[in-house]
Structure 1
Amino acid sequence: MAISDDLDNPKLMPATRGYTQIDGAGVHKRTTYDEVGTACPPYLVYVDRLRNEVVLAVRGLNLVRNADYKVLMDNKLGMQMFDGGYVHHGLLKAAQFILERETETLRELLRQQGPDCKLIFAGHSLGSGIAALMTVLVVNNRKAFGNIPRSHIRCYALAPARCMSLNLAVKYADVIYSIVLQANPSKILASKGRTSWDELVDKLFTRDEDGKLIVNRDMVARDVVIE
């Protein structure tokens, strides 16, 4: 997919009108793979002055990027306790990494925008799980963000990765909004003659002698980026 350096004059204009409301001058930071390394997907910090929101959006899973799979598969089930529940180990580390880099920036942007400004986290797929856990971390550390009210914090998770136990999902349901377009996609895809999730995993991974999943290098080497 082509990446537009100038958001006011994109290489590919989406059919939806929402993109035209993005103010290129509001983009405070756009990270690259080189900047984030293997810690997390790239992300963007954006100040929406029209809606008075500071937005941190995280990119979704890149099917040809080995580091993204390492984040996704780094989950020590039953060992990562958090806030009375369980969270995805790798996604939590990624969320902590971003906040360690951007807390000061977000706090300053919120201060500049005034007390009515909202803090929005957003992401798709892998990025949505990271965004959701960043939201949980911020809610539990609001003092570091200028004592922002809980009601001014929101997360919009598109096709979210499973990143927290049910009790935590309920506890933070007032700030995390998940958008799921399909239920049980494996059966739906299989019924339409398309590749199911299990079949996709078999194509993307092989297992070593210990049974651990390893990304197939021939898939990683393909010069294709899928959003």
Structure 2
Amino acid sequence: MAPLNAIRINSDRKAVQEFFSLEKDDIICWEYGQKAVSVPNYMVIHDPETNSIIISIRGTMNVTDVITDALAHYEPWNGGFVHRGVLRSAQYLVNHSLDDIREAVKKFKSNAIQIIGHSLGAAVSAVVTLLLRDKCKDLIEQGIDIHAWNFATAPCCSLELACRAETESCIDNFVNENDVIPRLSYGNLMDFKELVKFAASELKNEKYKKLSSKDKLAKILTSIDDYRTALKSNSSAQKLYIPGFHRSHIKSSIAFYTKDIVCEKSRPELFTDISLRRNWLFHHFPDRYDKKFKGVTKFLLRKLNEKDDGDKGNKLLKKWKKVAESEVVNDEGGRMGKWMSRSGHM
């Protein structure tokens, strides 16, 4: 390893240790600085506050990560199929760090293994969780919870794998509004390509030639929408889905209007359509997720305070305000955003 790289890695490791108030022994595995295809960048730490072992997996940041994303071949696995690049990355992590994870659980007498990721890292996190639950059945029998908390998860497995009861019980996903990455799989891209080709042909269609500009646009948009509906119903392109239970952050509830940011249950099939909506890329950034989480927390605590359990709600609200004041959230993000932005993480 080049001296400058070693200095940088040690500096990053020390920054994480100080930022999260960890002891040196709390950092179990440090696998950052990897630049090989299907070799994830991740860390395994002990969180003293929850007495959990945390596996944190980085998302797409460099060329090798992009190549891993691009390894979009579907590979048979566990009764379904998965994204090959994601599966290879998950297998690498488990093969290289499982012994260290087991030793850490025993050493710290931890009660949980929590796997966390964003974007590509979230997809890898999901498959790592399923692999760990298969290889650590003895830990589960001892009461050790193995659970994933994923953000902006890239689609990575077939529908039958994504919707299994066991998968939904151990993986929670959060999607921020119009984030395009949870909707981006090879099958979805093929459908989107066909939609663009149809739209281009409709713009040149002679049957609209005599219409006014306003009527022409209305007719074309209706035609494109009809084609899109038919394409979703009849598409032969195999799609990938987000495994586990889904929650979406949105500005206003689907059921009722509110100015608050709310978090609602969603379904895998709602993420099979690529639409270039407003803020579709910005909604993917970690700082935006951090900001939305703070908004959802504020909404939930206020609702709790409005119920009979007012004392508990007041205490939690005061605690949240104290955190919010110490970790200001703005367009640059809060605690998560400050750390992730150090490496320009996407």
- State the TM-score, normalizing by the size of structure 1: 0.69
1:125 and 1:117 map into 2 onto residues whose CA distance is 27
1:122-166 Cα offsets, whole Å, 9 max, x none, are 1111111111100011122224xx433487011011111111122
Change (3 A) 1:110 1:5: closer
Task: Tell me, yes or no, if structure 1 residue 226 matches structure 2 residue 226.
Answer: no
Tell me which residue corresponds to 1:147: 139
1:61-80 Cα offsets, whole Å, 9 max, x none, are 10xx2110111111213xx1
Task: Tell me, yes or no, if structure 1 residue 109 matches structure 2 residue 104.
Answer: yes
2:150 and 2:158 map into 1 onto residues whose CA distance is 16
Change (3 A) 1:99 1:87: same
Alignment of 1:161-172 (within 5 A): 161-171=154-164, 172=167
Q: State the 1:225 CA deviation.
A: 4.8
Task: Tell me, yes or no, if structure 1 residue 188 matches structure 2 residue 181.
Answer: no
Contact 2:179–2:282 (Cα < 8 Å) also in 1: no
Tell me which residue corresponds to 2:71: 74
* Structure with bigger gyration radius: 2
Q: Which amino acid aligns with 1:33?
A: G
1:9 and 1:55 map into 2 onto residues whose CA distance is 13
Tell me which residue corresponds to 1:215: none
Task: Tell me which moved more, 176-185 or 131-140.
Answer: 176-185
Tell me which residue corresponds to 1:205: none
Q: Which amino acid aligns with 1:109?
A: A
Change (3 A) 1:167 1:5: same
Alignment of 1:1-227 (within 5 A): 4-7=12-15, 20=20, 22-25=21-24, 26-34=26-34, 37-62=36-61, 65-77=62-74, 80-114=75-109, 117-143=111-137, 146-149=138-141, 152-171=145-164, 172-183=167-178, 185=180, 186-189=276-279, 225-227=343-345
SS of residue paired to 1:47: strand
Q: CA RMSD in A?
A: 2.8
Change (3 A) 1:195 1:23: closer
Change (3 A) 1:196 1:113: closer
- State the TM-score, normalizing by the size of structure 2: 0.47
Change (3 A) 1:158 1:8: closer
Contact 1:156–1:178 (Cα < 8 Å) also in 2: yes
Contact 1:60–1:124 (Cα < 8 Å) also in 2: yes
Quote the sequence identity (%). 21
1:51 and 1:4 map into 2 onto residues whose CA distance is 23
Contact 2:43–2:55 (Cα < 8 Å) also in 1: yes
1:55 and 1:89 map into 2 onto residues whose CA distance is 24
1:151-189 Cα offsets, whole Å, 9 max, x none, are 701101111111112222222011111011124642123
Contact 1:8–1:24 (Cα < 8 Å) also in 2: no
2:41 and 2:32 map into 1 onto residues whose CA distance is 5
Q: Which amino acid aligns with 2:149?
A: Y
Q: Which amino acid aligns with 2:344?
A: I
Tell me which residue corresponds to 1:16: none
Matched positions, count: 180
1:60 and 1:94 map into 2 onto residues whose CA distance is 11
Change (3 A) 1:49 1:170: same
Contact 2:152–2:179 (Cα < 8 Å) also in 1: no
Structure 1 residue ranges without an equivalent (≥5)? 11-18, 198-223
Q: Which amino acid aligns with 1:53?
A: S
